[in-house]
Amino acid sequence: MTQFSRYISLSFAFVFNFSLSHCQDWTKQKLQSKDTEFAIYSWEAHDEYHSAYGEIFLLKNGQFKYFSHYPLNTNEFSVGNYIIHKDTLLLTSDFQKNNMKVDISYIDSSTTDTSYTRLSFPRNQKGKILFNAYYFLNNDTSFKSHLDPKLPYNKELLNSITSLMVRFYDMDCGSDWIPISTSNKFINVTMMTDKNLDGESLYKVMNWKFKMSSDKLIAVTDNK
């Protein structure tokens, strides 16, 4: 494929993505597990070269799971709680702007350690390294206190850390400020989720509103 052909292909994929909206009509599907699921809804769209789809699982415990796929290998996921009031469904994700839970632990340094390695990428609860994370340090969200472990151009910040905030590229989500109580030890950061936040784009929703009928959901608000 020539460079021009690639450009045309990408252009058509962008146009296809742009034509789609989260304000879709979602069709009710057959339950996969009657013990745990309350309802399943999905949508899909196609043209000659591209396809996209989305699914919402409403569980009997009051939680929902959302997943979608778009061209250019774009995936989104969200989990959270739902409320049904008469014919209206509201979805709100667990992850919001500053509410991700974080566990901090400390380890003693060894003779081979340097300040360069004092703070590395966070991990999830399964131990997977989250390479799309970065930090703000010392109660400052300006560029001078931004630290990306793979590009530690501000590595002098590692000499004195009093607090940190975890953020993720391409996601308006992360933690609140977390105090660091030990200044002479190395810091392990664990995000209290088993999700692979590198593999899919976290879709943050607040009161994503749908109208419900017997066999469809109609999205009233577009949270994208």
For 48, residues 6+ apart whose C-beta sits below 8 A from its C-beta are none
The lowest-confidence range among 130-134, 180-184, 189-193, 216-220 is: 180-184
Indicate the burial class of 213 (C-beta count within 10 angstroms; 0-12, 13-18, 19 or more).
exposed
pLDDT tens string 164-195? 999 988 777 789 999 998 767 889 999 988 77
pLDDT tens string 45-96? 876 666 788 899 999 999 999 988 876 657 788 888 999 999 999 998 887 7
Q: Where are the domains of the chain?
A: 3-94+204-219, 102-191
Q: What value does the mean pLDDT of the chain take?
A: 80
Question: What is the pTM for the complete model shown?
Answer: 0.63
- The tokens for 93 are 């994700």
Contact between residue 186 and residue 174 where contact means Cβ atoms under 8 Å apart: no
The lowest-confidence range among 86-100, 146-160, 187-201 is: 187-201
Bridge partners, residue 219, by sequence: 210
Question: Quick one: pLDDT at residue 87?
Answer: 93
Which option is the CATH number for 3-94+204-219: 3.40.50.300, 3.40.50.970, 3.30.1490.110, 2.40.128.300? 2.40.128.300
The position carrying tokens 């632990």 is 105
Residues in the chain: 224
Q: What does the longest C-alpha to C-alpha distance in the chain come to?
A: 67
